[in-house]
């Protein structure tokens, strides 16, 4: 069996069981893997033999999609897709969407930012407080003197 025959059997085994985009991504992955292994000097038939039966690989992918569907309750089936990044790893776009900061971490960050802002405002007030007090005393004294002067 050669690479193209392996990939054809793999594609045929997945056809109609998972999305076309998932089939294409997996075919691209295995094509890339086979090419990279033959490029470093391995025999194509040995590489294909180490991968095993293409129908078994397809069944594994099909079962993993069913398992993922059952665990999510089917609510967002089909909204997720797996991509091959070129370094023998898959990434799941839905997982990347959900890689957000936990709520408690966001809450802590917001609290720290608010405390920093309040601390800054308090320091500015402490810096300006003597000037504010002097200005208020001056205004008070000017009014007191003016009122006293007008009574005379």
For residues 9 and 99, what is the distance between their CA atoms, to the nearest angstrom?
35
Helix/strand/coil for 122 = helix
- 8 Å CB contact between 83 and 91: yes
For residues 130 and 42, what is the distance between their CA atoms, to the nearest angstrom?
81
Interhelix angle for 3-14 vs 44-51, to 10°? 20
- What region, left, alpha or beta, does residue 86 occupy, with left being phi > 0 and alpha being psi -120 to 50 degrees? left
For residues 58 and 18, what is the distance between their CA atoms, to the nearest angstrom?
10
pLDDT tens series, the chain, 152 aa: 899 999 999 999 988 888 898 899 999 999 999 999 999 999 999 989 998 999 998 898 888 888 776 766 554 444 555 555 555 555 555 555 555 668 888 999 999 999 999 999 999 999 999 999 999 999 999 999 999 999 87
- Which DSSP state fits 87? S
What pLDDT, on the 0 to 100 scale, is given for residue 76? 47
What pLDDT, on the 0 to 100 scale, is given for residue 36? 93
What pLDDT, on the 0 to 100 scale, is given for residue 109? 93
């Amino acid at each position: 069996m050669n690479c193209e025959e392996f990939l054809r059997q793999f594609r045929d085994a997945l056809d109609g069981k998972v999305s076309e985009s998932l089939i294409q991504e997996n075919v691209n992955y295995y094509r890339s893997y086979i090419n990279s292994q033959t490029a470093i000097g391995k025999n194509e038939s040995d590489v294909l033999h180490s991968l095993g039966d293409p129908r078994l690989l397809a069944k594994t992918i099909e079962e993993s999609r069913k398992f993922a569907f059952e665990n999510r309750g089917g609510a967002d089936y089909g909204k997720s897709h797996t991509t091959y990044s070129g370094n023998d790893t898959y990434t799941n776009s839905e997982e990347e969407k959900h890689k957000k900061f936990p709520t408690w971490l966001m809450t802590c960050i917001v609290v720290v930012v608010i405390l920093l802002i309040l601390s800054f405002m308090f320091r500015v007030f402490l810096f300006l407080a003597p000037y504010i007090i002097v200005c208020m005393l001056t205004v008070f004294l000017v009014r007191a003197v003016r009122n006293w002067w007008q009574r005379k």
